């Protein structure tokens, strides 16, 4: 809220300067400053609570972020800010190594817990989903795995109805078949259905 108030004050101050200095060619420079300040402030406040909207299709994430537009990637698939990342790392510990990225998932139901997807990258790729309440893990499930030497890999879609579809995908022809399905309950438990 303070950041929004600050942006409003900056905008009104700079816009009043625009009226006075239009003849001196400062209009474009001030406008650019106002816009970049507003965007930066909006992104700074968004970074802390930014979350991925459902459905979250991991295949679409990879297409967008590894071969697409970086700004579209950050908009659709924001990762946690460093402070939030560090908080989650303290909760999960480092027994599994550090995730390359952590995504906060925007729940479509009213919950008292948070949902995160942890993306590990190394010789293999692994994605886990966890639910967290009061700095404790409620539930944990592996939802994606890829090893280049294998013939197939597992990927996922987290649906708006809070179900998770796991697919097995062929490296050879990209065909996929549904392998498993999970549901995140209103209490935060992740169970196979």
Q: Is the pLDDT of residue 87 over 90?
A: yes
SS3 (DSSP) at 181: strand
What Rg, from alpha-carbon coordinates, does the chain have? Answer: 21
Q: Cα(15)–Cα(64) distance, rounded to whole angstroms?
A: 37
5: tokens are 């108030």
Name the pLDDT band for 72 (thresholds 50, 70, 90): very high
- In this structure, of 23-27, 80-84, 113-117, 170-174, the range with the lowest mean pLDDT score is 23-27
pLDDT 10s digits, 136-151: 999 999 999 999 999 9
pTM of the entire predicted model: 0.74
Q: How confident is the prediction for the chain on average, in pLDDT?
A: 81
156 prior amide bond cis, ω within 30: no
Q: Cα(90)–Cα(22) distance, rounded to whole angstroms?
A: 52
Q: Cα(83)–Cα(99) distance, rounded to whole angstroms?
A: 15
Average pLDDT, stretch 25-29?
39
Name the pLDDT band for 14 (thresholds 50, 70, 90): very low
Name the pLDDT band for 29 (thresholds 50, 70, 90): very low
């Amino acid at each position: 809220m303070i950041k929004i108030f600050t942006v409003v004050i900056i905008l009104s101050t700079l816009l009043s300067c625009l009226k006075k200095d239009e003849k001196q060619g400062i209009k474009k420079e001030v406008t650019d400053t106002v816009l970049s300040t507003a965007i930066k402030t909006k992104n700074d406040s968004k970074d802390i609570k930014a979350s991925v909207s459902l459905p979250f299709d991991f295949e679409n994430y990879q297409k967008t972020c590894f071969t697409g537009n970086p700004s579209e990637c950050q908009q659709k698939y924001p990762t946690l800010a460093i402070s939030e990342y560090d908080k989650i790392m303290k909760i999960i510990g480092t027994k599994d190594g550090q995730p390359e990225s952590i995504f906060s998932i925007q729940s479509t139901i009213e919950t008292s817990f948070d949902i995160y997807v942890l993306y590990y990258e190394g010789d293999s790729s692994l994605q886990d989903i966890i639910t967290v309440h009061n700095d404790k893990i409620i539930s944990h499930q592996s939802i994606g795995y890829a090893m280049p030497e294998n013939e197939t890999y597992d990927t996922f879609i987290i649906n708006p109805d809070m179900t998770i579809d796991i697919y097995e995908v062929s490296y050879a022809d990209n065909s996929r078949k549904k392998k498993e399905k999970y549901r995140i309950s209103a209490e935060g438990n992740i169970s196979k259905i």
